[in-house]
Amino acid sequence: MSVLEGIPIDLSIVLGSTNIPIRQVLKMSRGAMIPFDCDHNDPTLVYVNNELIAKGRILVDGEMMSLEITEVMRRAG
């Protein structure tokens, strides 16, 4: 076992984002719809510790969802 295997990371999979006023958030109830600033063809973004590391696309097979990595980002510098 590698010493790296025990290190925790913060992994985020981002489908889209938006900016909305807090008053709209406070009025939300079950079934509320929030439009994203992206299209269904746009890539899903993968962040590790708030750094973009990859792009991909969501795959759905029955009840199971997965992420296919389509691009790994190059480190700047």
Which residue ranges make up each domain of the chain?
3-72
**pLDDT digits over 6-60, tens only?**
899 999 999 999 999 999 999 999 999 999 888 888 999 999 999 999 999 999 9
Tell which residue, 26, 13, 20, has the closest CA to residue 54.
13
User: Can you tell me the distance from the alpha carbon of 58 to that of 67, in angstroms, rounded to the nearest whole number?
Assistant: 5
The amino acid at residue 19 is N
Contact by Cβ (8 Å): 46, 67: yes
pLDDT of residue 20: 93
pTM: 0.76
**3-72: what fold?**
Surface presentation of antigens (SPOA) (2.30.330)
User: Can you tell me the distance from the alpha carbon of 61 to that of 63, in angstroms, rounded to the nearest whole number?
Assistant: 6
Q: φ, ψ for residue 32 (rounded to 5)?
A: -60, 145
Q: φ, ψ for residue 26 (rounded to 5)?
A: -65, -25
